[in-house]
Structure formats: structure tokens, C-alpha cells
Amino acid sequence: MDDKKNFTIEELIENSFDFSTYSEEEKKKLIEESSNLILETALIRTLDEANEETQKKFQEFLETEPDAEAMAQFVEENFPNFGEKIVEEYQHFMETKKDGSKEEKDLKEEDK
């Protein structure tokens, strides 16, 4: 039996940062924006790697103005490695954030 818990992107982000100084509304907004950024970047990379036929199929699908459930189903059926791309983009996001935090810290030290 597999005891691994699957987390949503939002849960991963929430558990990765200290939001204690933010209001609940600010926290939700930051988590949502970060999550959207990760998902959009993963989708762009996935589409970039897809063949022309799949890209065209996706464009035609978008023209139907699908809801979130239809989008999730389309992605699952047509981009089997999308989950891997999300993980990669989340890891890149976290590395970038760590680097950014280090740079901010270095700048603060320089100002002293």
C-alpha cells in the first residue's frame, strides 16, 4: 500500500513559506498567484515540447472556452507528462525564491 499523500500545488506553496506576517486575504492571493505561475509555466513548456498536431488540437480546444474540469481532462488525456512538468516548475520556483531571498539578504547586508 502506498502511504504517500498527494499535495496540491497550493498546499505545497503554503507549507513552503512563512505567511505569518500576512493577512489571510494576502496569503490566499500570493498562493493563488504563485500556483497559477507554476501551472502556466508548466503548460507552456509542455505545449512547446508537444508536436504540431497536439498544439493545434489544444488551440481548437481553447476556442471552445472550456471550464476548469474540461481543461483538466484535456490535459490529462493529451499531456501525460504534465504532472512531471508541474513538479519541475515547482522545484524551479523554490530555487528561484531561495536565490531571491539570498539576494535580498545580501542587499540588506550591503546597506549596513
What is residue 1's predicted lDDT score, i.e. its pLDDT? 44
pLDDT band at 3 (very low <50, low <70, confident <90, very high): low
Q: Mean pLDDT in the chain?
A: 86
pTM to 2 decimals? 0.76
Whether residue 97 contacts residue 50, with contact meaning beta carbons closer than 8 Å, is answered with no
pLDDT-above-90 percentage for the chain? 71
Which tens digits make up the pLDDT trace of 17-66?
889 999 999 999 999 999 999 999 999 999 999 999 999 999 999 999 99
* 76 touches 32 (CB < 8 A): no
The pLDDT of residue 2 is above 60: no
Alpha carbons within 13 A on the beta-carbon side of 13 = 22
Residue 85 CA to residue 42 CA, distance in Å, equals 5
Domain chopping of the chain, boundaries: 31-111
> Which 3 state secondary structure label does DSSP give 65?
coil
Measure the CA–CA gap between 38 and 13, rounded to whole angstroms. Answer: 10
Q: Quote the pLDDT of residue 26.
A: 95
How big is the CA angle at 43 (ends 37 and 48), to the nearest 5 degrees?
125
Q: In which region does residue 18 sit, left (phi positive, over 0), alpha (psi from -120 to 50) or beta (all else)? A: beta
